Structure 1
């Protein structure tokens, strides 16, 4: 059997450091005002929705509490809150239902 020729083996390139998916996902969360829970590297968890983001930080808007600017390097994870827990969505549904009732009558 001939020796394995390493030069014939195709070299794999390392995975890209940036895929662009982070920005797309953050834009989706921001535009839809999806409630999120942000777990920080120190273990603290804060909730709200992402109003603004750039390549270094996010702005977390919170109901009845001060808004936060959080550097991305301080974030361990971001998870979507249950949509049932989001009071803005519930209020929006109530408003839409009231409008459709008015249109019917």
Structure 2
């Protein structure tokens, strides 16, 4: 007879096994203070749009560095969720998609 720590019934058969897992329908834990959890932060802040509006209103000359290393100079005329329109002097205006922009800064910061 093999050794086992499981309890045996009188007739030598083992009782049915018990599940140790809790039921899956109750998987959320209640919060500690009784209030519902905080909502997730917003997907986007207004910092980007505030910066663009500030530069557009002042007609600040900007330098835009593209992901391929190209440098574009001009003033931001308008923007939306996916692109910027840049007015350039002596060159055609450009509509630049934001995912192609590496970074941008004010042109006056080059002379500092």
Instruction: State the TM-score, normalizing by the size of structure 2.
Output: 0.60
CA-based RMSD: 2.5
Q: By percentage of residues, which structure has more helix?
A: 1
Structure 2 regions of 5+ residues with no counterpart? 1-30
Count, aligned residues: 80
Which structure's CA Rg is the greater one? Answer: 2
Q: 2:100 aligns with which of 74, 78, 92?
A: 74
Dislocated runs of 4+, deviation >3 Å: 11-17
Q: What is the alpha-carbon distance in structure 1 between the residues aligned to residue 46 and residue 95 of structure 2?
A: 22
Greater relative contact order (CA < 8 Å, ≥ 6 in sequence): 1
Q: What is the alpha-carbon distance in structure 2 between the residues aligned to residue 21 and residue 33 of structure 1?
A: 18
Aligned to 1:34: 60
